[in-house]
Amino acid sequence: MAQNSELKRAFQAFRREIEYCSYCPKLCRFACPVAQIEHSETVTPTGKMTLLRLVRDRVLPFDADSADVFYRCTGCLISRTYCEHRIEVMPVLEAARAEAVARGVAPARAMQALETWQKQGNPFGEDLSAIVRNHVPEKYLDGSAEVLLFPGCTALHYHPANLEAIVRVLEALHVDFRVLHQGRICCGNPIHTLGHRETFATHSRELMARLAGWKTIVSPCPTCVYYLKEVYARTGLKPAGEVLHISEYVAARLSELSVREPVEKKIIYHDPCHLGRYLGVYDPPRLILEKATGQQPLEFYEHREAGTCCGGGGGVPLTHPQTARAIGQNKMQDFARSGAELLATACPMCQRMLDRSGREQGAVVEDVIALLAQSLGPQG
């Protein structure tokens, strides 16, 4: 099959990444969470990039079999931690996924995801506005304010109670805020990472228009923060105001909060990939946990930039759910050996994946802001 101009541009743009990875001695091989689970050289970062080179050189066809490999990546960025050249694999794979969608050879679930997303503007096809209205006092829904809370689709779908905790903390800080509750409450990552570029481009322009004028935007979802700050900027779109993860915003004002009921449990913290390796935010969640408990959280052996993945990124839970779940189970096995009583994280997808994987062993997974809200005691 002939290569179209868009694919040629992608190969040219990522020529360094493809060449370096193809001939690398696989220094990142041991760290890739997908390769650890699937025991396949093909799905290592080196294997994926070698496959792309072979497609580029027309040694192999760009068909459904090759496209499937490009969807076996969580985008965790752990390979960059151990890469001498700091190569980022996911942007290359996302370009390949966009081509797979254009050719109609992407995995069936990746193709069907667009139809679901278009129903309500989120990957769950549900009315997220109703969820916001059910968990947020009406006074925080309309009008202007200094801060806009962008909940994100994953947080609303899986952990709506966390939204109440965020409101509780912002109220305790006397923040003038409102919560986005109308239209599409999604950053667009679910369709972008699966390869639906045209729909994402339209959505991103519409969302930026709705976010114009806000001085500060905060979100509990690291992926939303990364997209609003970094991914949109690549296409010339960027909010006029500052975009922060909720842990960054709250950690800067911890001295204003009084803890009445410290959380008396041994807590270990899981670094979300987007919050840590993508955004470089490591200390704020830990400071919040220290405030809520009175002690520093325990650490996994592999943490901060070397922290392991929950399995929830890159669309893998949709296209390859068994692999995604097994990655999460690996993390929860580490938790079982840690001696901690509770696992805390600062990402709704991480909380979802780890909570689901840890249910069999009775593990408890909580959000850091929810724990902070709990430590503040009853309101009033």
| 36-72 pLDDT per residue, tens | 999 888 999 888 888 888 888 888 898 999 999 999 9
For residue 138, pLDDT over 50 is answered with yes
| 223-248 pLDDT, tens digit each | 999 999 999 988 888 777 899 999 99
pLDDT at 195 over 60: yes
**Percent of the chain surpassing pLDDT 90:** 67
Distance CA(256)–CA(172), nearest Å, equals 8
Write phi, then psi, for 147 (nearest 5 degrees). Answer: -125, 135
Q: What is the pLDDT of residue 1?
A: 42
Q: Cα separations (Å) of 249 from 104, 145, 153, 321?
A: 42, 16, 20, 33
For residue 34 the two structure tokens come to 């997908």
In the prediction, which pLDDT does 380 show? 63
Q: Cβ distance 97 to 194 under 8 Å?
A: yes
- Tokens 């069907």, residue? 112
CA distance 379 to 2: 64
Please tell me the predicted confidence (pLDDT) of residue 213.
86
Contact indicator for 158, 193 with CB cutoff of 8 Å: no
Banded pLDDT at 27 (limits 50, 70, 90):
low
Query: Which residue would you say has higher pLDDT here, 3 or 174?
Result: 174
- Averaged pLDDT score across all residues of the chain: 90
Q: Which of residues 6 and 310 earns the better pLDDT score?
A: 310
Nearest to 270 by CA among 311, 321, 224: 311
- pLDDT tens digits for 251-279? 999 999 999 999 999 999 999 999 999 99
Residue 86: which pLDDT band, with cuts at 50, 70 and 90?
confident
Residue 2 is predicted with a pLDDT of 47
Is 80 exceeded by the pLDDT of residue 296?
A: yes
pLDDT reported for residue 25: 64
Domains in the chain with CATH codes: 5-106 (no CATH), 111-251 (no CATH), 261-375 (3.40.50)
Give, for 68, the enclosing helix (H) or strand (E): helix 64-70
